[in-house]
């Protein structure tokens, strides 16, 4: 895994947990041109999955509309302190990143 790590914070709030993820990614749309006039190739996260104690709870398909260094926030019903949250992403180059956090 060459990409920079994600920052994941998961906080228990009553019977749910709020998960906040900050991903490090250029998210190039493929529309920009560099100073020489050449198009900068598209490079963006295509798939995001999140799991709670091993069970998939979120599945997302992203495209070039999502900005650089994406921030994602979601709530998991029934998650409590100590539970393990894993977030994965795969981009259009096939690079991936997986990080985990514990619900506080």
Partner 1 sequence: MKALWIGAAGLMGLALLPVQAQKSSADAIAEYRKMLEDGNPADLFEAKGEALWKQKRGPKNASLESCDLGKGPGVVKGAFVELPRHFVDTKKVQDLESRLVTCMSTLQGLNADEIAKTPFGRGEQENVTALATYVAAASRGLRFNLPQAHAEERRMYEIGKRVFYFRGGPYDFSCASCHGEDGKRIRLQDLPNLNKNPGDGIGFAAWPAYRVSNGQMWGMQLRLNDCYRQQRFPYPGFGSEATIAVSTYMGVNAKGAESIAPSIKR
Using CB under 8 A, list all residues that contact partner 1: 4-5, 7, 20-22, 24, 62, 65-74
Q: How far is CA 81 from CA 12, 15, 16, 102, in A?
A: 6, 10, 10, 7
Shortest Å, Cβ 86 to partner 1: 18
Q: For 4-83, where are the E strands, in sequence order?
A: 7-13, 16-22, 45-52, 55-61, 71-77
* Nearest to partner 1 of 74, 86 (CB atom): 74
Shortest Å, Cβ 20 to partner 1: 6
- Alpha carbon distance, N-terminus to C-terminus of the chain: 26
Shortest Å, Cβ 72 to partner 1: 5
* Nearest to partner 1 of 22, 90 (CB atom): 22
């Amino acid at each position: 895994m060459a990409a920079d790590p994600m920052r994941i914070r998961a906080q228990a709030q009553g019977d749910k947990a709020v998960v906040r993820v900050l991903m490090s990614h250029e998210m190039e749309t493929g529309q920009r041109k560099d100073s020489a006039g050449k198009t900068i190739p598209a490079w963006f996260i295509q798939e995001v999955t999140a799991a709670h104690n091993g069970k998939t709870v979120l599945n997302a398909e992203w495209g070039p509309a999502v900005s650089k260094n994406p921030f994602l926030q979601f709530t998991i019903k029934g998650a409590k302190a100590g539970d393990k949250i894993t977030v994965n992403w795969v981009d259009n180059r096939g690079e991936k990143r997986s990080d985990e956090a514990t619900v506080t």
